[in-house]
Amino acid sequence: MDLKYKIHNAPSSFALEQAKKVKSTHAIIYSIGPCFDLTFNVDPVSGRYMDEFPIYFDDYEKVSGLRHSEDASWLEPLRGHITAMCDRAEELGVKPVFHLYEPMFPLVFEREYSELVGVFKRPTQDGTQEFHSLMDPDNPKTWELVKSKYRELAKDFPKISMFIITTGDTASAPWCVSKAKMPIAERLVKMVESAREGIREIRKDADVCFRLWFRNFPDEYYRDGHRMIEELTGLKNATEYMYPIGKPHNDPAVVLPYVFKKLPKDVPIMYKSSRMDIHDNTPLTKAIGTYPKNRQQIMEISYEMYHVKLWPWCKIAHIRKDLKAIKDNNLTGYVSLPINMGNNDRTINPEVGNLGRMNTWIFEKLSSGDKRSDKELVSAWLEKEFGATQPKVVIDALLAADVIADEGIQWGRGIYNRVNFASLHLNKLYWMFDGFIQPDFPYQIAKPDAKLIEGLISMKKTAYEKAMEQIHKLEASEAGINPRLYKELHESYQTFADFISLCRDWTSYILMQYALEKGVYKPERIVLGRMSRYVESFIKNLLRLKDTEAGKKAISQLRFPDNFPLT
C-alpha cells in the first residue's frame, strides 16, 4: 500500500528489524508513561524506583536535581538505549518515533510540585483508588509544564521523527476529573497544541500525531450505560463509581467534531484499534459516524502478542478488515502492532512463540498487496515454517480458532468478556460496559428471555464441541503432519478446549442464576438442579486441570466470592 505513514510498534531489536521487513516508514522505538501508578522496577544500584521518562526535567529544579544525582544511575543507561535505538532505526531506513500516554509525569512531581501535579482519589465499589498525574487544565502553568516536557524530549533526542500523543478520559490522570471550567474537547486539543509548541521551539521537522484512546464508544453507552447498571445491580450513583469516560459530557458525538475542527491542520489523527472497532460485525467508526476527509488519519492494525497466547490465533480476518478500511476511507496510513503500545520489553521477538507468530508474516504479505486467500496464505506460512505443505486440517484449525474463541471465551459477536470467572454482579457491570460493542446486546441482556439465555449457554457448549472436533481431526491426521507442528498445535488446542470447558461451566451457571433473578425461570427443583450440575462440572474440571496451563489461567482469573455487599 502506498501510504504516507506505515508505522510499526518496535520497542525491541527484533521488532525493529521486523519494521524494515514489513516496509515500515516509521517505528515506535519507545513508549512513555503507560501505567496508572507510574512506578516500575527498583534500580539495583540506587535502590530507587525507576520510571519511563528519559529526561531530567531541567526546567523544574527540585525534580531535576534529584534526577541528575540519585536517579542518574538508571536514567543514563535508559537514555543511551533510546539513542542507540534511534541510530539503529535510521540505519534500517526507518524513522524513529516516541509514543506517550498523557498527561503523565514522574511521581516525584507530586511531592515537589504538588500545586501542579496531584493525585485523584477515585471512589469505587472496591474502595478508593489513586490515580496519579492529576492536573488542572485551568492553570496556565499546567500547559507550561507540558510544553517544557516536550521541548526537552525534542532537544535530547533529535532523531525522533514523530511524537504520538495518546490521551483521553481513561488516561491515568483523566482530564475530566478535576473541577475545571475548560471543556473536555478543549483540554484534549490544548494537550496536543502545548506539546507541539514545545517541540517546534527545537525542531521544525518533527510530526505530532494525536491518538484517540478509548474514544470510540457508541453513543448508546453514554445515554444508557450507567442508568442500566443502576437498574440491573441496585447500585446507586453508578456514574460516580464507573469509568469517568462514561459520563455524558464525554460523548464522542459531541467531543470529536470539536477536536477535529480545532486541532492544527498538520496533526494526523490515530484511531486506537480497541475492542470497539476491531471485531466482526461492528461498524468501524460508529461513534464518529464518518471520517473527516480533510484530516490526515492513521488506523491501528493490532495483532499484539498473539505469538504468546496459550492457544493458536490467526488474525488474518482482522488484518484484512483494517487494511480494507484504510483503503476504503482513503486514510493516510496505519500503525501495525505486534506488541502492545505501552510495552517496552527489549527481549520480545514477535516471530518467536506459539503459532500466533504467523500474524506478522501474514501482515507483511497482505500489506504489500498479496492476493492469496486466507487458506493459501496460512498454508504458505506453514510450508515456510515447517518445510513442506501441511494437511488441510491444520489450516482449518488455525482459521477456526478466532471464531471458537469469540463464542467459547467471549460473549460472541466480538463482545469482550473481561473476567471469565466473575460473580453475577461483576458480569452485569461489564455487560453494560463492554457489551456495547454490539449496541443491541445490553438491551437484550437487561430484559432476557429463555431464548437469549439458552442461546448463550448453547453457544459455549457448541464452542467446546467445535474445539474438540478440531482436536479429533488433528489426531486422525497426525501421521501426515510435521511432528514439531503437530505437537505444538495439538497441545495448544487442548489448552484451548480445556479453558473453554471451564468458561462454559461457569458462564452457564451465571446465566442460570441471572435467569432466576429476572424471572425467566422459576426456582423449581429441576432448574436449581441444573445450576448445581454446572457448578459440579466446573469444580470437577478445575480440579482436573489445576496444574495445566488452562487451569492456571482460570485460577488466576477467579473473581469470586464477590466482595461487594448484597443489595
Could you tell me the CATH number of the domain that includes residue 172? 3.20.20.80
Q: What pLDDT shows up at residue 473?
A: 98
Judge if 239 and 311 occupy the same domain. Answer: yes
DSSP 8-state secondary structure symbol assigned to residue 43: P
User: pLDDT band for position 130 (50/70/90)?
Assistant: confident
Cis, peptide link before residue 137, omega less than 30° from 0: no
3-class DSSP state of 140:
helix
| Last residue within a domain, chosen from 371, 406, 441 | 371
Going by DSSP bridges, is the β-strand pair 127-134/118-124 parallel, antiparallel, or unpaired? Answer: antiparallel
> For residue 434, is it within any domain?
yes
Q: What pLDDT shows up at residue 493?
A: 98
| Average pLDDT rounded to a whole number, residues 382-393 | 97
**What is the distance between the alpha carbons of residues 147 and 310, in angstroms, rounded to a whole number?**
43
For all residues of the chain together, what is the average pLDDT? 90
Contact, 79 vs 32, CB < 8 A? no
Higher-scoring residue by pLDDT: 307, 48: 307
Cis, peptide link before residue 350, omega less than 30° from 0: no
Packed helices 525-545 and 483-517: angle between N→C axes, nearest 10 degrees: 150
Write out pLDDT tens, residues 505-526.
999 999 999 999 999 999 999 9
Adjacent-strand bridge partners of 162: 97, 207
Q: Which of 124-128, 153-157, 229-233, 240-244 has the highest mean pLDDT?
A: 153-157
Q: What pLDDT shows up at residue 35?
A: 63
**What is the distance between the alpha carbons of residues 469 and 304, in angstroms, rounded to a whole number?**
27
User: pLDDT band for position 289 (50/70/90)?
Assistant: very low
Judge if 163 and 264 occupy the same domain. Answer: yes
Of 491, 503, 492, 510, give the one whose Cα is nearest residue 464: 503
Cell of 317: 480476518
Helix (H) or strand (E) holding 301: strand 297-302
> For residue 180, is it within any domain?
yes
Range(s) of the domain holding residue 96: 5-371
Q: What pLDDT shows up at residue 411?
A: 95
Judge if 285 and 314 occupy the same domain. Answer: yes
Judge if 160 and 235 occupy the same domain. Answer: yes
| Last residue within a domain, chosen from 337, 371, 405 | 371
| Last residue within a domain, chosen from 325, 342, 371 | 371
Judge if 315 and 410 occupy the same domain. Answer: no
Residue 341: partners with Cβ closer than 8 Å, 6 or more residues away: 9, 28, 31, 34, 99, 166, 304
Judge if 446 and 544 occupy the same domain. Answer: yes
> For residue 377, is it within any domain?
no
Q: Is the pLDDT of residue 133 over 80?
A: yes
**What is the distance between the alpha carbons of residues 68 and 88, in angstroms, rounded to a whole number?**
27
How many separate domains does the chain show?
2
Determine the residue type at 242: M
To the question of pTM greater than 0.75 for the whole model, the response is yes
Contact, 133 vs 34, CB < 8 A? no
DSSP 8-state secondary structure symbol assigned to residue 275: T
Q: For 131, phi and psi rounded to 5 degrees?
A: -120, 125
Contact, 210 vs 268, CB < 8 A? yes
| Average pLDDT rounded to a whole number, residues 150-163 | 98
Judge if 350 and 403 occupy the same domain. Answer: no
How many residues comprise the chain?
567
Judge if 508 and 401 occupy the same domain. Answer: yes
> For residue 386, is it within any domain?
no
Judge if 20 and 62 occupy the same domain. Answer: yes
DSSP H helical ranges for 167-273: 184-200, 219-233, 238-241, 252-262
> For residue 308, is it within any domain?
yes
User: pLDDT band for position 286 (50/70/90)?
Assistant: low
Q: Is the pLDDT of residue 171 over 50?
A: no
Rg (CA), the chain: 25
Judge if 362 and 407 occupy the same domain. Answer: no
3-state SS, 422-443, equals: ECHHHHHHHHCCHHHHCCCHHH
> For residue 426, is it within any domain?
yes
Judge if 419 and 339 occupy the same domain. Answer: no
Contact, 272 vs 214, CB < 8 A? yes
> For residue 166, is it within any domain?
yes
Of 174, 263, 258, 155, give the one whose Cα is nearest residue 214: 174
> For residue 383, is it within any domain?
no
Cell of 124: 469505587
Judge if 271 and 397 occupy the same domain. Answer: no
User: pLDDT band for position 277 (50/70/90)?
Assistant: very low
**What is the distance between the alpha carbons of residues 330 and 29, in angstroms, rounded to a whole number?**
27
